[in-house]
A and B are shown apart, each in its own frame.
Chain A
């Protein structure tokens, strides 16, 4: 079946550091790929998405590129802020509509 593997956390960075959170996937067919963010006490919300190979999703300074050859969708941000502290989930969605989520990576950014 489909699966998503995320870089294990927690990740702790200083403000203005570069962020990478790795995500690889296994899926049949051509899934769409997503990054969701969860702030404390809240539900998940979409951060960015890509629906086909070589697409780049971007939002709020975060970027991720759909790499079919390496089955990856790594999340990057050039300069993190304290307000980026949250849990980040990589996910895929296949043709049947069901989503598969990674285990989540907790990011803490210190001033």
Chain B
């Protein structure tokens, strides 16, 4: 199993550009989520999905869109990049129950100039 994969690993954008961060998992997990990690702020939930066709907002959803057309894929779209979106982005997946841990991807480091 590849686990959770994310692409790209690094990305530099100019203000106003759009892009999609890719996330895929091969563990047949129902639950997937996107976090951003900023220094001293831990992980903050952006969006999550409890299954194909179902998504919901997390703590910091503004400026981001998601969709979940398959169980495996959960892309994150930045609509119009801003410097405040400079961060490290992690995708995670798990079985959708309380007792299960999340499996994290290696992260995407995004810089918006």
B-contacting residues of A (Cβ < 8 Å)? 30-32, 34, 36, 41-46, 49, 51, 89, 93-95, 97-99, 101-104
CB distance from B56 to the nearest CB of A (A): 9
Q: A43, B101: Cβ atoms under 8 Å?
A: no
Among the listed stretches B42-50, B60-68, B75-83, which one makes contact with chain A, having 4 or more residues with CB under 8 Å of it?
Answer: B42-50
A51 pairs with B98, CB closer than 8 A: yes
Task: Please judge, given known A-B contacts A43-B90, A98-B58, whether A32 and B42 are in contact too, CB under 8 Å.
Answer: no
Q: Are A42 and B98 neighbours in the complex by a CB distance under 8 Å?
A: no
CB A79 to nearest CB in B, in angstroms, measures: 25
Interface string of B78-112 (1 = CB under 8 A from A): 00000000000010101011111111111100000
- A7 to chain B: closest CB distance in Å? 13
Residue pair A97, B101 in contact (C-beta under 8 Å): no
Closest to B102 in A: A99
Alpha-carbon gap, A49 to B102, bound state (A)? 11
Give A55 to B98 CA distance when docked, in angstroms: 15
Interface residues on B, range: 20 to 34
| Contact between A42 and B42, CB atoms less than 8 A apart | no
**Which one of A36, A45, A97 has the greatest number of beta carbons of chain B within 10 Å?**
A97
- Within 8 Å of chain A (Cβ to Cβ): is B31? yes
Contacts of A43 in B (CB 8 A): 4, 90, 92, 104-107
Which residues on A sit within 8 Å (CB–CB) of B94?
97
- B residues in contact (CB < 8 Å) with A: 4, 31, 33, 35, 40-43, 45, 48, 50, 58, 90, 92, 94, 96-107
Compute how far the CA of A41 lies from the CA of B88 in the bound complex, rounded to whole angstroms.
10
Which chain B residue has the least Cβ–Cβ distance from A6? Answer: B42
Residues in B whose Cβ lies below 8 Å from that of A102: 42
CB-CB nearest in chain B for A44 = B104
Checking B45, B92, B100, B106 against A42 with a beta-carbon cut-off of 8 angstroms, the contacting residue is B106
Q: Check A103 against B98 for contact (C-beta < 8 Å).
A: no
Nearest-neighbor residue (CB-CB) of A34 within chain B: B101
List 15 A-B residue pairs with CB atoms under 8 Å apart, sorted by A's residue number: A31-B98, A32-B98, A42-B106, A42-B107, A43-B4, A43-B90, A43-B107, A44-B102, A51-B98, A97-B50, A97-B96, A97-B98, A101-B35, A103-B41, A103-B42
